[in-house]
Amino acid sequence: MDFKIKLAPSFERKSTFYLPNDSAVPAGLETTGLQKPDLSCFPYPLPSKKSEYTGELRVGPVRWLAASTGLTRYEPEAAFESDIIQYFSATRDLADNEVLALCPDGADGVWVRTKTAVTHIEMIKTGAREKAELLREESLRYVDRRGMLSERYLSVPRVLDSRVPYHHSDNDGGFTAAFALGEMFRYAVLRREKGVDAPETKQALAETLRHFDACMLLCYICGRGDGFVARTCQTRDEPIPDAGIFFRRQANGKAKCLVTTQSVEEGMAGVEVDCSHPIPERFRKPYTDLGYDDDDMIFKTDTSSDEITLHLVHLYFANEILVPDCPEIAPYIKETVSAIVGHIVDHGFRLCNCLGRSTTWAKWNEEYFNTPLGWPDGPLNCAEMLSYLLIASAVTGEVRWEKVYKELLERGYADTMLEHGSRYTVNAKIENVTVWEYIMYGDHMLATCAHWMLCLLEKDADLRALYEESYRQWRTSMAREHNACYDLTYLLSVPGAENEVDAEALAVWFRRTNLSNLTCSVRFEERHDVAVTTGKLGDKAITTLLPPDERSITKYDRNPFCDDPGSPHRLESCYTYTFAYWLGKYSGLIED
């Protein structure tokens, strides 16, 4: 494939906040007078109204333009067109948007005095690989929780060292599997570049296996032995959220359902179930090494297709990448894949809880597809189920999965995949919203993984063509995001995709992704260089995609054209960047 994303080092923004009387603040900042800039012949649209600009600071070829609604950096000869105009705003880059004074920092950045605080904005030249390592280091230091990574809350805003010692998200297992996939690709790249015996490669393998083990623990901790996977797990010392269904393991080989609003509503509070199936010792170590035993562990159920999809993709690549160097994990991978897919097939293409009831969002059967809720989900869930069977066949070599796969093909699962576009359009009309409002943006990652696996593993040319066509339907909504994960997997799946994917837009995505995943918000409603529309539900959205460092920091489950509240109290995992970057390096699509 003649397609390369060329990533040269670029200036990345980093903001550090100070009180006005802090000794680190340069004395010249308070005495710097701002002269109102002449913008009458300015050649580009500006983020603030021209009347809102109150002053400027010139540092070489760069003009820093202060406004009552934020700060603009203008570099007419910037190395990249996307960097000519950059906007800095509260609360990510500035404490507030009323800029009162500017002072150079002696490098490429600037000191900014606003109404409530002082910010030092550094412009740090960083390469894509260096950024991947910096983000990874941040996540491992501050987000990691016994090998699991999704997000962490901070007790003090912006202070990463104030992270609370507990926190889970609803899809811990899926987010951890996505991070672990990036770690596997990183290991494979280092193995190729430096050799399997290089110290850096060995360290990468050890770290990759740690996250592999964390994912595998979720596949065993329920103790049912039937392939049911927990959403997440925690220790007895971590508070139990009220949302969800949680079980605590007991010394008698049982697990007891804890009292939460949902468990009471579903009549499960206090129910005891068997959990005597043993957890392999290597997967117990994340908690036994900390002094906990099996009966100190709590797991969350009501698992969704999100976790199942990402776990199975993770296990497929673990079998491909890790097993050649770590053959001891091969039996666990085969056993787990067979158990998970077997559970779904044996329960009528459903994931079922301990009472035999379907979980809320893990149904892959026609009965569900024929309900109002399941009808629009049908095409995606058909793709997921077919991909699970191909993964199971590839990993285990068991003929059972091929038979079930053929049966589902005869029942129309592949053909149903081609109805995604029409079903979404119809349901959007029924709900009286636009398609963009109707989309569940988290489904993009699930559709990406399912189609990636289908196109990778299906050998029949006609079926591959059908899967490629289904993938193209999803591109209607995915392509506009210029999301590197979605675009790279599409390139690896569909012949001719290089003619559809914008390499420069992906380069902007990599260059302009933030150096930190602290989710401080940015607001676009005051901007005057992008159009803002109001949807039928009242949600505001921009019509032009902004660079990542000027929009919300989220996982792959939010609309990048909409504001996300964000918080200086929350730090996200870096998987959104590291998964895409290391996949690109592993597959040869990135050149840096």
Tokens encoding 581: 């970057």
What are the residues whose beta carbons fall under 8 Å from the beta carbon of 347, sequence distance 6 or more?
Answer: 356
In angstroms, what CA-CA distances link 334 with 245, 449, 459, 463, 575? 28, 20, 21, 26, 25
The rounded distance, in Å, linking the Cα atoms of 579 and 458 is 24
**Which parts of 474-581 are beta strand (E)?**
532-534, 540-542, 570-572
What are the residues whose beta carbons fall under 8 Å from the beta carbon of 325, sequence distance 6 or more?
Answer: 191, 196, 205
The rounded distance, in Å, linking the Cα atoms of 405 and 388 is 9
The pTM for the full model equals 0.96
The rounded distance, in Å, linking the Cα atoms of 295 and 589 is 47
The rounded distance, in Å, linking the Cα atoms of 344 and 351 is 5
SS3 300: strand
Give residue 168's pLDDT. Answer: 72
> Looking at residue 35, what DSSP letter applies?
B
The rounded distance, in Å, linking the Cα atoms of 203 and 368 is 46
Tokens encoding 163: 């992270």
> Looking at residue 321, what DSSP letter applies?
I
The rounded distance, in Å, linking the Cα atoms of 225 and 340 is 10
Using only the alpha carbons of the chain, give its radius of gyration. 25
Q: What is the mean pLDDT of each run of 10 residues along the chain (592 residues)?
A: 92 95 89 83 96 94 96 96 96 95 95 96 97 98 95 95 84 95 98 98 98 98 97 94 93 96 94 96 96 97 96 98 98 98 98 93 97 96 98 97 98 98 93 89 96 98 98 94 97 96 97 96 86 86 93 90 88 97 98 94
Give residue 128's pLDDT. Answer: 97
Give residue 70's pLDDT. Answer: 96
Q: Among candidates 436, 274, 470, which has minimal Cα distance to 355?
A: 274
Contact in structure between 391 and 455 (CB atoms under 8 Å): no
Handedness of CA 334, 336, 341, 343 (dihedral sign): positive
Give residue 32's pLDDT. Answer: 65
The rounded distance, in Å, linking the Cα atoms of 513 and 19 is 27
Contact in structure between 521 and 406 (CB atoms under 8 Å): no
Peptide bond preceding 91 in cis form (omega within 30 of 0): yes
